[in-house]
Amino acid sequence: MGRVTTSVMWFRRDLRLGDNPAILEAEAAGPDGVVPLFVLDDRLWTEGATTRTAYLARLLADFSERIGGLHVVHGDPVDEVVRVARRAGASTVHVAADFGPYGSRRDRRVEEALAKHEISLVRTGSPYAVAPGRVTKGDGTGYRVFTPYFRAWEEHGWRAPAPEAKQVPWIRPGGRTRQIPENTVPSGMDLPPLGEQAAAERWHAFLDDDVADYDTTRDLPGDDRTSRMSVHLKWGTIHPRTMLADLAPLRSRGSAAYARELAFREFYADVLHQRPDSAFDYYNRAFAAMEYDEPGSALDAWKAGRTGFPIVDAGMRQLLGEGWMHNRVRMIVASFLVKDLHIEWQHGARHFLEMLVDADLASNQHGWQWVAGCGTDAAPYFRVFNPVTQGKKFDPDGTYIRRWVPELADVETRHVHEPWDLDEPPADYPEPIVDHAEERREALRRYEAIR
């Protein structure tokens, strides 16, 4: 009998069979069997109710069913990946490259540990159309401003989607495996549909119904017509290359605007790759010296959606209810935390990472830093969002507010953004916890001090 040739496909944020070139490589390297491995990494896996683990647990179960059994182990990937690869007699372990600060360090450690047993870690593709670090300025350094990055990104281009992996000879080595855990969802939250099929259905519904006027509807949270593809992009139940290929022939303003947003996701991944320290520290370090308030009851009111500012509260309650928030409202609530409550952006970003179903380190931390004025290409600090004006402009008839703040459901449109003006404001809705005009002045004073 000839030598048996096997490989390992180590899944991380790429839980799909379509357009997944790493699986095709694993198959070519392991014609006699490919182990479909997922490691519940001690560093990233926490028991208890968090949005991320609850979603991931369900997604793993869905994917496992799809391929007839995912090999799930629990522990440090450096030990576990080596153990599984050796047990399977594999000479290669296949992954999509991870460019995040922790993931890239982890992969280097796994690579070294595998090399001691003459097993190679093979990186094929990444969660991006254009991998971080791939497009650079003339002098070889990375872009710090989105628009020129976007131009270079478009010019660079990307491959066509890879064919679906259909007949992979999946095998499961013996030894310790872990039941896929059933983590509970944070109380009161409904998770969106998940898995590769749900991603494709959502995407095609968006292409059919909403992409053409995405450029005009994307800012209106009451309409709720954005794609909600962020969670699928986060877990790789679809690849952005597939989406870009579908957008290419459309040529509407909406489809162009949408491709630009996908580029934003790639830009932030690129920036984080250039500056891994910016995951938790200030991208513009001058802002570390600004005067901030200690988080206390104001942070709690913000998290609970009880600030007394309707659009802010609606957004924070959408986050609690769905693990997702509309982009325009993410900007409004983030601005409120940083500029009205004077709380450092990291506190808000941490809450988002815990609650968001699409929590993504690069997009979240840089989305926050953009709002806080300390990120790349940031909104100028002195441009302070007024939560009432923002509400009136982007939720003119209060649909979004009424959907998420039941205390205001019966308030007339002309008062829904300023319920404190009513002769009898709803008794169960809080009064504003701050005076926006005063806090705006205070924010500018603090900013002047570091200029």
Ligand X SMILES: Cc1cc2nc3c(=O)[nH]c(=O)nc-3n(C[C@H](O)[C@H](O)[C@H](O)COP(=O)(O)OP(=O)(O)OC[C@H]3O[C@@H](n4cnc5c(N)ncnc54)[C@H](O)[C@@H]3O)c2cc1C
Residues that bind ligand X (CB under 6 A): 218, 226-230, 233-234, 261-262, 264-265, 268, 327, 330-331, 334, 352, 356, 358-360, 363-364, 367-368, 371
> What is d(CA 14, CA 355) in angstroms, rounded to the nearest whole number?
21
DSSP string covering 98-127: --SHHHHHHHHHHHHHHHTTT-EEEE---S
Minimum distance from CB of 220 to ligand X (Å)? 11
Minimum distance from CB of 341 to ligand X (Å)? 14
Is the Cβ of residue 29 or residue 329 nearer to ligand X in the bound state?
329
Write the single-letter amino acid at 386. Answer: N
Minimum distance from CB of 125 to ligand X (Å)? 17
Is the Cβ of residue 240 or residue 425 nearer to ligand X in the bound state?
240
State the pairing for strand pair 90-95/120-123. Answer: parallel
Minimum distance from CB of 29 to ligand X (Å)? 31
Minimum distance from CB of 246 to ligand X (Å)? 13
Minimum distance from CB of 330 to ligand X (Å)? 4
Q: What is the dihedral of CA 82, 123, 272, 327, to 10 degrees?
A: -100
Is the Cβ of residue 20 or residue 227 nearer to ligand X in the bound state?
227
Distance in Å from the first CA to the final CA of the chain: 74
At 9 the three-state DSSP class reads strand
> What is d(CA 240, CA 231) in angstroms, rounded to the nearest whole number?
12
Is 244:262 a contact under the CB 8 Å cutoff? yes
Nearest residue to ligand X, scored by beta-carbon proximity? 367
Please name every residue paired with 143 in a beta bridge, in sequence order, or none if there are none: none
Minimum distance from CB of 323 to ligand X (Å)? 11
- Please give the DSSP secondary-structure letter assigned to residue 308: S
C-alpha radius of gyration, the chain, whole number: 23
* Nearest partner of 50 among 191, 179, 178, 180, judged by Cα: 191
At 418 the three-state DSSP class reads coil
Is 283:366 a contact under the CB 8 Å cutoff? yes
Minimum distance from CB of 270 to ligand X (Å)? 11
